[in-house]
A = this chain, B = another copy of it.
């Protein structure tokens, strides 16, 4: 395999740029199971240190593009087998990856007293004012999910967010970025109200995702409950064995 000898200089660290270059080469010129050039070959070919090569490869391995076999080499993984790990995405991006067009209908957007369990999750006093945003989420014009978000007040300065826009984007514009979240996924039967909104029969199975979002400093700023239609939505994820 021939490997180009130049790295595009971007603002990214060198090992990220190298990882991108390798990913491109893998997509275009390598097949599943093919070995990558050895680390020492890449080191020489790109004129970087072996450590940089290894960090680039580690990045690819984390993304599931390649896997290492000690004493043998690094090989291209089968992308059909290796799903990406769970990622923190908004509804719109999630739908886009499924080839669906996302839209939204706002049901509620106001300040309300925080219920007990959400208050615990957000670390605020029960009954204190939080921003409530309730939206029906559509994919290709048909109901897909019912989303109830509660956010710390004051994240958007004085006002309320634009309920039509991406919450994530608007939070970022105010210097608040959700970097981690913890979620619990359960199955539930839809109530009459929920079923009506989602255009489903009463009692239909739905996937319920309860998510608490944290900033990079570990501060909880958002708690969201989302009910997905069981017949339209699946949550896909890759899992790894514990180091043991």
Q: Which residues of B contact A102 (CB under 8 A)?
A: none
Report whether A85 and B87 are in contact in the complex, using a CB–CB cutoff of 8 Å. no
Q: Is the CB of A230 within 8 A of B218?
A: no
CB distance from A58 to the nearest CB of B (A): 10
Q: Are A230 and B217 in contact (CB under 8 A)?
A: no
Measured between beta carbons, the chain B residues less than 8 angstroms from A181 are 238-239
Contacting residues, chain B, for A87 (C-beta < 8 A): 239-242
From A21-29, A125-133, A185-193, give the one contacting chain B: A185-193
Residues of A within 8 A of B (CB): 16, 33, 67, 69, 75, 77-78, 81-83, 85-89, 177-189, 203-208, 211-212, 214, 216-218, 220, 228, 230, 233-243
- A30 to B15, alpha carbons, bound, how many Å? 34
Partner of A186, one of B204, B207, B240: B207
**Can you name 21 A-B pairs with beta carbons within 8 Å?**
A67-B217, A81-B182, A82-B180, A82-B214, A83-B183, A85-B85, A85-B86, A87-B239, A87-B240, A87-B241, A88-B240, A183-B238, A183-B239, A184-B237, A185-B234, A185-B235, A187-B188, A187-B230, A189-B204, A189-B205, A203-B203
Is A184 a contact of B228 with CB atoms below 8 Å? no
Q: Which of B82, B212, B216 contacts A69 (CB 8 A)?
A: B216
Contact A240 B187 (CB under 8 A): no
Listed from nearest, the 3 A-B pairs whose CB atoms lie closest are A187-B230, A83-B182, A187-B205
Whose C-beta in chain B lies nearest to the C-beta of A168? B241
Interfacial chain B residues near A69, Cβ < 8 Å: 216-217
Partner of A185, one of B77, B237, B241: B237
What is the distance, in angstroms, from A156's C-beta to the closest C-beta of chain B?
20
Asked whether A78 and B205 contact (CB < 8 A) given A86-B237, A86-B239, A185-B235, the answer is no
Most B-side CB within 10 Å, residue of A211, A218, A235, A239: A239
Q: In the complex, which of the residues A181, A183, A214, A218 has the most CB atoms of chain B within 10 Å of its own CB atom?
A: A218
Question: Given the interface contacts A88-B241, A178-B241, A239-B88, does A81 sit within 8 Å of B185 by beta carbon?
Answer: no
